[in-house]
Chain A
Amino acid sequence: NAGVTQTPKFQVLKTGQSMTLQCAQDMNHEYMSWYRQDPGMGLRLIHYSVGAGITDQGEVPNGYNVSRSTTEDFPLRLLSAAPSQTSVYFCASSYARDSTDTQYFGPGTRLTVL
């Protein structure tokens, strides 16, 4: 298994540009989520999905869209990038939405918005 994969690893955008951060998992996990990591703030939940076709907002959803058309993929879209979205983004997945289940994290995407 490749586990949780994320692309790209690094990205630089200009303010106002759009882009999609890709996340895929090959473990047949139902639960997937996106976090952003900022210095001194730990990880904060952006959006999550409990299965294909179902998504919901986390703690910091503004400026981000998600969709879940398949079990494997959970892309994160920035429609109009802003400097405040400069961060490291992590995708995670687990078999179930129950917290007893371990979440597996991808390697992250480091995004800089100029």
Chain B
Amino acid sequence: AQSVTQPDIHITVSEGASLELRCNYSYGATPYLFWYVQSPGQGLQLLLKYFSGDTLVQGIKGFEAEFKRSQSSFNLRKPSVHWSDAAEYFCAVEGNQGGKLIFGQGTELSVKP
């Protein structure tokens, strides 16, 4: 069965520092992978998605993610974090029927001034 693991429940980084959020997936075939962000009290917004091709995917707000099949990972990165990036981040993989998403537990990001 498909599953997604985000090993870090909470991460704190200083403003201006680089960021990497980890995501590991379990999927039998080539996965469709997503990163969503949820600001406090808000719904989820898609940051980026990977279907095929270039393993480095660029998203909105300066985020990128790299698909590594050998490690079953899809880690999210940003070179310089802004205070407005404080939010919860969810990694997701397509379920076994198109359109259904399986989410990880989420990683809450705090940004120190």
A48 to B42, CA, bound (A): 21
* A58 at interface, CB cutoff 8 A: yes
A42 and B43 in contact, given A31-B99, A100-B51 (Cβ under 8 angstroms)? no
Number of A-B contacts (CB under 8 A): 68
Q: Number of A residues whose C-beta is below 8 Å from B?
A: 29
- The interface residues of chain B, by DSSP majority, are classed as loop
* A43 at interface, CB cutoff 8 A: yes
A98 to B95, CA, bound (A): 11
A residues near B, CB below 8 A? 4, 31, 33, 35, 40-45, 48, 50, 58-59, 90, 92, 94, 96-103, 105-108
- Give 6 new A-B contacts, CB below 8 A, not counting A33-B99, A42-B104, A43-B101: A43-B92, A48-B99, A90-B43, A96-B99, A103-B99, A105-B43
B residues near A, CB below 8 A? 4, 6, 9, 32, 36, 41-46, 49, 51, 90, 92, 94-95, 97-106
Show 10 A/B contacts (Cβ-Cβ < 8 Å), sorted by A. A33-B99, A42-B104, A42-B105, A90-B44, A94-B99, A99-B99, A105-B36, A105-B44, A107-B43, A108-B42
